[in-house]
Amino acid sequence: MAIKVLKPGLATTVQDLGRPGYYHIGIPLSGGMDRHALAAANLLVGNEEGAAVLEAVFMGPELEFTDDALVAITGAELPPKLDGEPRETWTSFKVKRGQKLSFDFLKQGARGYIAIAGGIDVPLVLGSRSTYALGALGGFKGRKLEAGDELPIGKASAPVKDGRIVAKELRGLPAGMPTELRVMPGLYWHRITETAGVGFFGDTWKVAPEADRIGYRFKGGKPLEFVPREPPFGAGSDPSNITDACYPYGSIQVPGGTEPIVLHRDAVSGGGYFMVGTVIAADMDLIGQLQPNTPVKFVKVGMDEALAARKSRAGLLGKLRGALA
Amino acid sequence: MQTRFSYGGDEHIFAEVAESMSLEAFFKGLFVTNAVRDARIKGVTEICPANASYQVKFDPDQIKPDDLLAELKQLDSASETSAPVIKTRIIEIPVLYNDPWTHETLMRFRERHQDPNGTDLEYAARINGLDGVDAFIKAHSSAPWFVSMVGFVAGLPFLYQMVERQRQIQAPKYLRPRTDTPKLTVGHGGCFSCIYSVRGAGGYQMFGITPMPIYDPNQKISYLRDFMCLFKPGDIVKWKPIDRPAYDAAVADVDAGRFAPIIRDVSFSLTEFNNDIDAYNRKLEGVLHGN
């Protein structure tokens, strides 16, 4: 069985839970930006949690099914339509052979996850089906979908019934405005002045238009002032330069001290800009659901709070598994 | 050198061996990351050496961050005594300097450059006190370079020139990054050269282009069948300036599947290198050409 791509959407890619183990040669994890929503979509249709799905950003694709299937859409509020008839998000539903799945305009969030029972059956590359578009690696031909593509679908394991719903409190989406992203200061935090550090956590930032799978840029806060120094050999003359180093996932670099960039699943693995700290792992999914112009506050936390948040996020996934078992 | 450690959120430990780039700092990072790999510490998921720093990614559900930090600190201080000798490879990379493709690109982005009226090569020659483009190409290609980091994007090598610091080529990055760089461009920023493994954005000065692919996600290129990225940290690169007919011939060879890069095993001693850099580099070149 296969699905035909009639319209590709804006930047729809095949993603699973990613490709660990190759960051040391510049190949990033990739995988769904909102991993919780990806797992939810899979569990709804009876897939393994990490099966390959479609990640659609801002705008859904239009797909035609060559066989009957069970489908679920999670993540962003990207309302599905089956042959033009509305369907619910976060709810599994049946699709008949020949039917067309399309989407209404995005209402909330940024990325929708489209799971199909059996999973998208593109070849495994370095252990994952995720697309890393910058390196033309994995996914469907190493790129975002185009009209005319035919995506192979795997064989569904045990059939599960349709109409199952993920309750609101198990969806793990950003709550409230501005969205709070918890940050552990560190890395090259000492490069900025105390006043700049206070400003960084005090200011309200907004998601800039340059926000993609590599990283999210933020604007609107005060520029950061640097502690004066002699540039170290190899670093470069700008006060925001460092001798090119590794970039953690979630790390916040601020080129020129003006617009922070949080690196995400398709992160560049290293470079020559200093970083003020790192968004904790538990809050990375939230970033994947932020639209441009969304107000954001960075909230200072320590390791203990980061680990507690991690436990709480894992607990949410545990409840989701229980609910869909 | 006293390594500075920092948590990068709840999943990374970042270690800065030194603020400044040096072969000593690079070697230390390489030794520590090798030791971390050999130690097979439970919960460690990625081990990334960089130019003068390194990073370890871990799963805090499997190992307590403070326990891993203590273990890394121990491995880091134990590596102080390691003899700086590595077994590695020397690889010849043919380069068409001053090629038409990077030239077209650098003209397209001229308003983002420090010197809108010249080329990147002319600019780099001037600010490094070299007498014109030919002298610059000679300075760039006569000594070998260390692959001191692989990353940014898939398989991209950062290269550190193996000469005394006062002879090292330095050049700032573009004033504003370009949105385009030809694939396989040989670039330079700060004290590092690089080879762009894929087409895309970039801020390094552009000096030339190599016909030799270094990254192949489809693994069709003969020497990239085992693994899609050519370079590993610690590899040594020797540029070989070539002319346009040689470039075209190499591209045809790559397309026909008969291009065979020159890659030799070699051992490198930092102590011997520092004793007489030029003599040591001549010896390395001898290994490359089977002398």
Q: What is the pLDDT of residues A125-145, one digit of tens each?
A: 999 999 999 999 999 999 999
CATH number for the domain that contains residue A283: 2.40.100.10
The shortest C-alpha distance from B276 to chain A (Å) reads: 22
Q: Are residues B248 and B104 in the same domain?
A: yes
Q: Does A272 touch chain B (CB under 8 A)?
A: yes
SS percent in chain B: helix, strand, coil, step 5: 35, 25, 40
Q: Are residues A83 and A136 in the same domain?
A: yes
In a domain, A321, yes or no: no
Q: Are residues B175 and B213 in the same domain?
A: yes
Beta pairing, strands B85-97 & B236-241? parallel
| Cβ <8 Å between B154 and A132 | yes
Q: Are residues A99 and A146 in the same domain?
A: yes
The number of distinct structural domains making up chain B is: 2
CA distance A51 to A61: 19
In a domain, A75, yes or no: yes
pLDDT (0 to 100) of residue A136? 96
In a domain, A214, yes or no: yes
| Cβ <8 Å between A26 and B156 | yes
The number of distinct structural domains making up chain A is: 2
Q: Do the beta carbons of residue A32 and residue A49 sit within 8 Å?
A: no
Mean pLDDT for A291-296 is 97
Q: Are residues B35 and B102 in the same domain?
A: no
Q: How far is CA B172 from the centre of its chain?
A: 17
pLDDT (0 to 100) of residue A166? 97
CA distance A320 to B29: 42
Taking each helix axis from N to C terminus, what angle separates B65-78 and B23-39, rounded to the nearest 10 degrees? 130
Q: Which of B82, B105, B122 is the last residue of a domain?
A: B82
pLDDT (0 to 100) of residue B147? 97
* Residues of chain A contacting B198 with CB distance shorter than 8 Å: 134-136
Query: For residue A20, is the peptide bond before it cis, meaning its omega torsion is within 30 degrees of 0?
Result: no
CATH number for the domain that contains residue B144: 2.40.100.10
Q: Where are the alpha helices (DSSP H) in A176-288?
A: 194-202, 284-287
Q: Give the largest Cα separation in chain B, rounded.
A: 58
Q: Are residues B56 and B93 in the same domain?
A: no
* Residues of chain A contacting B53 with CB distance shorter than 8 Å: 243, 245-246
In a domain, A322, yes or no: no
Q: Are residues A145 and A229 in the same domain?
A: no
Mean pLDDT, chain A, rounded, equals 97
* Residues of chain A contacting B29 with CB distance shorter than 8 Å: none
Task: Tell me: pLDDT of A174 over 90.
Answer: no
Q: Which of B37, B55, B82 is the last residue of a domain?
A: B82
Closest by Cβ to B8, choosing from A25, A26, A187? A187
In a domain, A217, yes or no: yes
The fraction of chain A above a pLDDT of 90, given in percent, is 95
Q: Which of A139, A170, A201 is the last residue of a domain?
A: A170
Q: Does A305 touch chain B (CB under 8 A)?
A: no
The residue of chain B nearest to residue A183, with distances taken between CA atoms, is B9
* Closest CA relative to residue A92, chosen from A57, A154, A156, A41: A41
- The predicted-structure confidence for B113-168, as pLDDT tens digits, reads as follows 999 999 999 999 999 999 999 999 999 999 999 999 999 999 999 999 999 999 99
CA distance B179 to B204: 12
Q: Are residues B257 and B244 in the same domain?
A: yes
Q: What is the span of the domain harbouring residue B68?
A: 4-82
Closest by Cβ to A233, choosing from B48, B151, B191? B191
Q: Are residues A292 and A190 in the same domain?
A: yes
In a domain, A65, yes or no: yes
Other beta carbons within 10 Å of B14: 26
Q: Do the beta carbons of residue A298 and residue B29 sit within 8 Å?
A: no
Q: Which of B82, B112, B139 is the last residue of a domain?
A: B82
Which of A137, A214, A244, A317 to probe the B interface (max B CBs under 10 A)? A244
| Cβ <8 Å between A245 and B200 | no
Closest by Cβ to B19, choosing from A243, A249, A269? A243
pLDDT (0 to 100) of residue A266? 97
Q: Are residues B170 and B105 in the same domain?
A: yes
The shortest C-alpha distance from B99 to chain A (Å) reads: 24
Strand order, beta sheet including A53-57: A13-15, A53-57, A108-116, A69-77, A93-95
Q: What is the span of the domain harbouring residue A110?
A: 2-170
**Assigned token pair, A74:** 């999670």
pLDDT (0 to 100) of residue B83? 73
Mean pLDDT for A297-313 is 98
CATH number for the domain that contains residue B54: 3.30.1360.40
Q: Are residues B154 and B225 in the same domain?
A: yes
Closest by Cβ to A184, choosing from B9, B48, B49? B9
| Cβ <8 Å between A246 and B151 | yes
From residue B242, give the alpha-carbon distance in Å to each of A208, B222, B249: 44, 22, 11
| Cβ <8 Å between B61 and A310 | yes
pLDDT band for position B187 (50/70/90)?
A: very high
pLDDT (0 to 100) of residue A69? 96
Mean pLDDT for A251-266 is 96
Q: Are residues B72 and B95 in the same domain?
A: no
Q: Which of A170, A198, A217 is the last residue of a domain?
A: A170
Q: Are residues A67 and A183 in the same domain?
A: no
Q: Do the beta carbons of residue A173 and residue A289 sit within 8 Å?
A: yes
* Residues of chain B contacting A303 with CB distance shorter than 8 Å: 7, 10, 65
The residue of chain B nearest to residue A189, with distances taken between CA atoms, is B6
Q: Does A248 touch chain B (CB under 8 A)?
A: yes
* Residues of chain B contacting A136 with CB distance shorter than 8 Å: 198, 217
Q: Are residues B160 and B280 in the same domain?
A: yes
The residue of chain A nearest to residue B177, with distances taken between CA atoms, is A255
From residue A123, give the alpha-carbon distance in Å to each of A15, A61, A116, A309: 12, 21, 16, 35
**B163 Rama class: left (phi>0) / alpha (psi -120 to 50) / beta:** beta
Q: Are residues A205 and A124 in the same domain?
A: no
Name all contacts of B283-287 with Cβ < 8 Å and 24+ positions apart: B284/B90, B284/B144, B284/B236, B284/B238, B285/B144, B285/B238, B287/B90
The residue of chain B nearest to residue A271, with distances taken between CA atoms, is B152
Q: Are residues B160 and B69 in the same domain?
A: no
- The predicted-structure confidence for A24-76, as pLDDT tens digits, reads as follows 999 999 999 999 999 999 999 999 999 999 999 999 999 999 999 999 999 99
- If 0-12 CB within 10 Å is exposed, 13-18 middle and 19+ buried, where does residue B243 land? exposed
The shortest C-alpha distance from B149 to chain A (Å) reads: 8
Q: Are residues A141 and A274 in the same domain?
A: no
- The predicted-structure confidence for B216-273, as pLDDT tens digits, reads as follows 999 999 999 999 999 999 999 999 999 999 999 999 999 999 999 999 999 999 999 9
Q: Which of A138, A170, A202 is the last residue of a domain?
A: A170
* Closest CA relative to residue A292, chosen from A57, A62, A8: A57
Q: Are residues A13 and A72 in the same domain?
A: yes
Q: Are residues A49 and A153 in the same domain?
A: yes
Q: Are residues B99 and B173 in the same domain?
A: yes
pLDDT (0 to 100) of residue A261? 96
- If 0-12 CB within 10 Å is exposed, 13-18 middle and 19+ buried, where does residue A98 land? exposed
In a domain, A323, yes or no: no
Q: Are residues B230 and B265 in the same domain?
A: yes
| Cβ <8 Å between B153 and A237 | no
pLDDT band for position B176 (50/70/90)?
A: confident
pLDDT (0 to 100) of residue B291? 62
Q: Are residues A293 and A147 in the same domain?
A: no
